[in-house]
Amino acid sequence: MTELGDFSASSLVTLVQMVATGAGLTLLPESAVETLLRGVDDVVCVPFRKPAPSRTLGLAWRRTSPRGGEFGLLAEELR
């Protein structure tokens, strides 16, 4: 969730609209930029300089989970 004064938003579309109205700036996933900024003329997208920031994702579940096998398959797919 992003907050600015009395404004707050948790959806990317809402964040882009807040930026378009001059309420600030935001970070967007590269995979969503083209779709989110289509038809939005008042927003400029500036990519990070290299090396761009990155993150590592993790997947965790309880050993006793009845869906452990499914989570294992999901982990393999994500790799």
Total number of domains in the chain: 1
Alpha-carbon torsion (29, 30, 34, 35), positive or negative: negative
From the centroid of its chain, how far is CA 44?
A: 17
Residue ranges in the chain whose pLDDT is less than 50: none
Please give the pLDDT value at position 36.
Answer: 93
Range of the domain at 52: 2-78
Does residue 26 contact residue 7 with C-beta atoms inside 8 Å?
A: no
- d(CA 33, CA 16) in angstroms, rounded, equals 10
